């Protein structure tokens, strides 16, 4: 069974490196704010809890494959289960917080190859995580990181053209063209805004005419639109 992401809304704010042996996930005011539910990435047993000077309130889950996941900077006293409790993949195990040494609320996820909890046993969690239909992916995260999907045909931030039709409400997540036949995408201040599909021009480079009651906003490929 694949590991899932520790949050429903996926926003990577800091990647794995030799000096940062884990991945940080942030939050969005549009998707529940900063009191985010933290999810068990796979089936396992609550292995350990502790309070670290840098990591704040931390929780460890020992998974059935022998790996251990660490969730750090959790909200004080937000643990949902006692040590030794078995949890399922996707179980809410705690709440995102700002404990320890942080600049704001987030969760730090580390992944150990075994129950020997030392830095040399940590691996980059991202290649081991898979998004699914319950996830919403931040556009910048999608653009800058390779995200695995449990079903390769599913990509919530990149719908196929067959999924979009006139009248659909969409969120703009990427580049667009100034005309429907343009071959050069233009960046303007539309990313993150919500519009409607006004017309679809089959066979054009940017087939989706998007706008609202004030007029046409631009022309897009399917990869730049997220269906709402």
pLDDT in the model for residue 151:
65
Query: First and final CA of the chain: distance in angstroms?
Result: 29
Q: How far apart are CA 91 and CA 42, in angstroms?
A: 9
What angle (nearest 5°) sits at the alpha carbon of residue 137, between those of residues 217 and 220? 25
Give per-10-residue mean pLDDT for the chain (228 aa): 94 96 94 92 96 97 96 97 96 97 96 95 96 88 90 47 75 82 72 88 80 86 82
Torsion sign over Cα 70, 22, 32, 147: negative
pLDDT in the model for residue 165:
83
Q: How far apart are CA 200 and CA 209, in angstroms?
A: 6
pLDDT in the model for residue 163:
67
Domain regions of the chain by residue span? 3-149, 161-227
Class of domain 3-149: mainly beta
Q: Examine domains 3-149 and 161-227 and report if their fold is the same.
A: no
> Structure pTM?
0.68
CATH code for residues 161-227? 2.30.30.50
pLDDT in the model for residue 70:
98
pLDDT in the model for residue 153:
41
């Amino acid at each position: 069974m694949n590991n899932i992401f520790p949050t429903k809304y996926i926003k990577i704010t800091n990647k794995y490196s030799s000096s940062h042996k884990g991945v940080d996930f942030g939050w969005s005011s549009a998707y529940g704010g900063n009191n985010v539910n933290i999810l068990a990435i796979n089936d396992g047993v609550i292995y350990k809890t502790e309070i670290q000077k840098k990591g704040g309130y931390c929780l460890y889950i020992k998974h059935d494959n022998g790996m251990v996941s660490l969730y750090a900077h959790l909200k004080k006293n937000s643990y949902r289960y006692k040590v030794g409790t078995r949890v399922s993949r996707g179980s809410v195990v705690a709440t995102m917080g700002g404990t320890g040494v942080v600049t704001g609320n987030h969760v730090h996820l580390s992944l150990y190859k075994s129950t020997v909890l030392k830095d040399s046993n940590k691996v980059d969690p991202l290649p081991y995580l898979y998004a699914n239909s319950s996830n919403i992916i931040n556009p910048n995260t999608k653009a800058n990181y390779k995200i695995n999907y449990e079903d390769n045909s599913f990509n919530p931030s990149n719908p196929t053209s067959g999924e979009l039709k006139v009248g659909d409400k969409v969120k703009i997540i990427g580049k667009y063209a100034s005309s429907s036949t343009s071959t050069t995408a233009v960046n303007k201040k539309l990313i993150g805004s919500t519009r409607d599909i006004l017309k679809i021009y089959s066979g054009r480079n940017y087939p989706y005419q998007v706008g609202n009651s004030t007029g046409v906003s631009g022309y897009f490929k399917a990869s730049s639109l997220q269906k709402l």
